Amino acid sequence: MKVYVDADACPVKDIIISEGTYAELPVILVTSFSHFSNADQPSGVETIYVDSGADAADYRIMRLAVAGDIIVTQDYGLASLGLAKGCTVLHHMGFTYTNENIDQLLQTRYLSAMARKGGKRTKGPKPFTAEDREQFRALFKEVISC
């Protein structure tokens, strides 16, 4: 089992790295070249850089991931593809994407996009809190211990 992280805007990379390293799981951070860093990563953590195209990180993750891997993303499209491939897919807000909730999430995203296209304003995501971080940590630890 490996952990793939859609890392460009992931606020829980540090949790994934620390808990993944502790559990001796390989962690692969997939990010665009625009987020390049020379920072050293712990053993078992790899960073893969991709072009800055809209879905470049998603495509790379889907090329690499296999059934049984874990994907962490806030992108509902990538989550849907990961579920179809047999991966466990987590959102940084501390919930698991499932075959039961993905259709509703995709529908809500579509309706919001259509509303914005029609000139309406929609609400953005709620601010990320310390409680959200701990909820994600608990979920991540539970998933990797199975």
The three-class DSSP label of residue 39 is coil
pLDDT digits (tens, 9 = 90+) for 115-145: 777 888 777 778 889 999 999 999 999 999 9
In this prediction the pTM is: 0.86
At 107, phi and psi to the nearest 5? -65, -45
- Return the CA Rg of the chain: 15
pLDDT digits (tens, 9 = 90+) for 59-93: 999 999 999 999 999 999 999 999 999 999 999 99
Residue 20 has pLDDT above 90, yes or no: yes
Range 3-145 has CATH code 3.40.50 = yes
- Residue in the block written with tokens 């809500």: 108
User: Sorting pLDDT into bands at 50, 70 and 90, what band is 35?
Assistant: confident
What tokens does 117 get? 């296209």
Sequential DSSP letters for 70-122: EEE-S-HHHHHHHHHTT-EEEETTTEEE-TTTHHHHHHHHHHHHHHHHTT---
